[in-house]
Structure 1
Amino acid sequence: MLRLCAPDVLAEGQSRGFEIAGEKLLAVRKDGKLYAYRNRCPHRGIPLEWLPDQFLDHSASLIQCATHGALFLIESGECVAGPCAGQSLQELAIREDEQGIWVELAGR
């Protein structure tokens, strides 16, 4: 697993973007749980955010693609509205300990 950041870098209800090992990723902390996905919209294959670390909609309850407004469930990455409805973000294994937040990139 690769270290993303210190545990306190990602607060409750926040999202954050990372680039690690040449991959763009995003992580979200919701209801005390961590979720990680590749930062790539399934509709156009482009990054989801326009501004750094801005991945959530106004209510902070869904991940939103800034380009076409697609909305994704934080808990599963499933697109529930927009041009990629029925598709999903690519989920990554993530865990946390006292040393940091760790992610596993498939095939590494």
Structure 2
Amino acid sequence: MDFLCASDALPEGTSRAFNLARATLFGVRRQGRVYLYRNRCPHRGIGLQWSPEASLLDPSGQLIECAHHGALFRVESGECVAGPCEGEMLEALACHEDAKGLWLMDSTAPADVDR
């Protein structure tokens, strides 16, 4: 397991990017649950945001947005609902949260997301 951050470093309704030696990923906290995805748009295979500090959510805070071409993805499933990769999915990753914070379980293990 790889430690990502303390729980309070990913507040409700926000996103955060993480750069590990073996993976670039991001998390979104929605209704107390953390959804973790590989930071790679299925359309072009590039990261979703312009800079590491930028939000990965659209202005409404309801969808994940690719800053490069405007594709929109559901937070709970990673499914693209608008844009050039509509119907494709972000790669979900398994995570665990405990008293110490948020952990990446295994960067090769898919997460159990609401699909």
What is the TM-score with the length of structure 2 in the denominator? Answer: 0.89
* Residue 41, structure 1, aligned to residue 56, structure 2: no
Q: Which residue in 1 is equivalent to 2:112?
A: none
Q: Which has the higher strand share?
A: 1
Query: Aligned AA for 2:108?
Result: A
Between the aligned partners of 1:106 and 1:21, the Cα distance in structure 2 is: 14
Q: Secondary structure at the match of 2:42?
A: coil
Q: Which residue in 2 is equivalent to 1:62?
A: 63
Between the aligned partners of 1:78 and 1:20, the Cα distance in structure 2 is: 24
Percent of aligned positions with the same letter in both sequences? 55
Cα 1:53–1:22 shift into 2, 3 Å = farther
Q: Which residue in 1 is equivalent to 2:83?
A: 82
Q: Which residue in 2 is equivalent to 1:106?
A: 108
Structure 1, unpaired ranges of 5+: none
Between the aligned partners of 2:31 and 2:21, the Cα distance in structure 1 is: 28
| Displacement of 1:21 | 2.5
**Number of residue-to-residue matches in the alignment:** 107
* Residue 91, structure 1, aligned to residue 95, structure 2: no
Further displaced range: 71-80 or 45-54: 45-54
Between the aligned partners of 1:44 and 1:74, the Cα distance in structure 2 is: 19
Q: Which residue in 1 is equivalent to 2:4?
A: 4
Q: Which runs of 4+ in 1 moved over 4 A?
A: none
Q: Which residue in 1 is equivalent to 2:14?
A: 14
Between the aligned partners of 1:39 and 1:30, the Cα distance in structure 2 is: 18
Q: Deviations over 1:50-97 (max 9, x none)?
A: 132410000100000000000000000000000000100000001110
